[in-house]
Amino acid sequence: MHSNFLLGSLRITEPAKMSLKRIPYDLIARHAVNDHGRVTNRELRLNSMSMKTAGQIVSRFPIDPRDTSLGFVMVVTHESWDETLVKLESE
């Protein structure tokens, strides 16, 4: 697998870091190689279009894969591909 887009600078919000209890390099890597986790069909279509025209790309992963009731984190590459942000879905 390879990335079809640039990640830019990487940032993680403090709430996401506290919820994950780590820096999620693995989730950023999955996002970079087009494994977008639990995105909707619409988000998947938009991601596909964005990779061709430079737009926002989103991924969604559970905070704890064994307990999805804890919520999800989003990995979002900005539409200009200059920054990728990891944040809680609720932020």
Query: Look-up: residue for tokens 């559970």?
Result: 62
When pLDDT is cut at 50, 70 and 90, the band that residue 1 belongs to is low
User: Can you say whether the dihedral through the CA atoms of 78, 55, 25, 4 is positive or negative?
Assistant: negative
CA angle 90, 79, 39 (to 5 degrees): 45
Q: Are 46 and 36 in contact (CB under 8 A)?
A: no
Task: Identify the CA nearest to 12 among candidates 89, 86, 91, 78.
Answer: 86
- Give the pTM: 0.93
Task: Identify the CA nearest to 27 among candidates 76, 79, 83, 90.
Answer: 76
pLDDT beyond 60 at 28:
yes
pLDDT beyond 90 at 39:
yes
Domain boundaries, the chain: 9-63+71-88
